[in-house]
Amino acid sequence: MIELMGGIEPARTLILTAMRNGACVVTGNKALVAKDGPTLHEEADKAGVQLSYEAAVAGAIPILRPIRDSLSGDRITRVLGIVNGTTNFILDQMDSTGAQFADALAEAQRLGYAEADPTADVEGHDAASKAAILASLSFHTRFSLDDVYCEGISSVTAADIAAAKDAGFVIKLLAIAEKLTPAADADGNTGVSVRVHPTLLPREHPLAAVHGAFNAVFVEAENAGELMFYGQGAGGKPTASAVMGDLISAARSIVLGGPGRAETTTGQVVALPITSAVTSYYIGLDVADQPGVLAKIARLFAEHGVSIEIMRQTIHRDADSNIESAELRIVTHRASEAALAATVEAVKGLDVINSVTSVLRVEGV
């Protein structure tokens, strides 16, 4: 049975009924697999049938089978993915043309990349479902949508894009799943951080070159090293390609008379909260233009154990009041999310800070 309706019901009931009656199932339903994948896999195992969903993540890009099969003898440490074409198109338009978010979204809707109600895309929910699936296969643990931290791109401004470009970065909405060890996690936890949020990437990073509505998934493994899978992530023909690949695989299994391909889950790795993630931060500050400001900010960062890697300052003069202020753009070294969040909160309390204009995470530095 091939299910391409989407949504939770009646798709869930129909899939379970088909498998209980001995049918292999091919689906592109990322929301259902992310929400209730464990139940679907259990029923497939009981019935001895094959459950396949390559089309659920990144369209035509063959990413789930390589993770499950080709890399099964390796240890994946991190997965970074641009897995939503709508948001990548919007951010790419903002980066290449200087457009505001609303204008880039309107263009995406005009071209058919975005739905009339784009909430699932721009708020990151679509990417979060795919992140849960990628994490489950990469780390042999059943992660659900509830395990994914999610932020969308609706708060990203043209000023954020321009400042990132000036510093040598591009902003992408990334789905990230990474294994954290006690050495990496400040709280001494071992587990997996699964998250979706706008992220700054250096322009030389392979994912930074993914334009338009294309998708790409960047995989890091202990022995294979760095791998990138790139291609069309949406659309009728790309989706059909992934569906047909799963269909042929299921048909071969039936012809050969073997059991359905089982899920690769072999253990349980803890899903860590966002506070355990290890990232760098990009922080935009509007500050008073007076002596000692930089020293105060640097001292506060040091007190919280966060090291500053890059600091850029631009002076502005208000045309009406003739009062000067400074705009600071700071990129930190990698530190725990908890330490970085605490640093940002402390910065807000400094008397020399007019406002915190933006806070974004950074990868690839």
64-234: which CATH number, 3.30.360.10, 3.40.50.300, 3.20.20.140, 3.20.20.80?
3.30.360.10
Collapse the DSSP code of 63 into the 3-class scheme (helix H, G, I; strand E, B; otherwise coil) and give the result.
coil
Model pTM?
0.89
Query: Cα separation of 149 and 86, whole Å?
Result: 20
2-57+235-256: which CATH number, 3.40.50.10860, 3.40.1620.10, 2.40.50.140, 3.40.50.720?
3.40.50.720
Residues known to be catalytic: 130
Domain ranges of the chain: 2-57+235-256, 64-234, 277-362
Fold of 277-362: Alpha-Beta Plaits (3.30.70)
Collapse the DSSP code of 139 into the 3-class scheme (helix H, G, I; strand E, B; otherwise coil) and give the result.
coil
Determine how many CB atoms are found less than 10 A away from the CB of residue 85: 25
Contact criterion met (CB below 8 Å) for 170 and 200: yes
Task: Give pLDDT tens digits along the chain (365 positions).
Answer: 999 998 999 999 999 999 999 999 999 999 999 999 888 988 998 998 999 999 999 988 999 999 988 998 899 999 999 999 999 999 999 999 999 999 999 999 999 888 889 999 999 999 999 999 999 999 988 898 999 999 999 999 999 999 899 889 999 999 999 998 765 555 566 899 999 999 999 999 999 999 999 999 999 999 999 999 999 887 788 889 999 999 998 998 888 876 656 555 566 788 999 988 989 999 999 998 888 888 999 999 999 999 999 888 887 766 565 567 788 899 999 998 999 999 999 999 998 898 998 899 999 87
Contact criterion met (CB below 8 Å) for 44 and 260: yes
Query: Cα separation of 139 and 75, whole Å?
Result: 8
Q: Residue for token digits 């899920």?
A: 263
Collapse the DSSP code of 231 into the 3-class scheme (helix H, G, I; strand E, B; otherwise coil) and give the result.
strand
| Domain 64-234 shares a fold with domain 277-362 | no
The gap from C-alpha 140 to its chain's centroid, in whole angstroms, comes to: 19
Q: Give the contacts of 130 (CB within 8 A, at least 6 positions apart).
A: 30, 34, 56, 57, 58, 81, 83, 84, 175
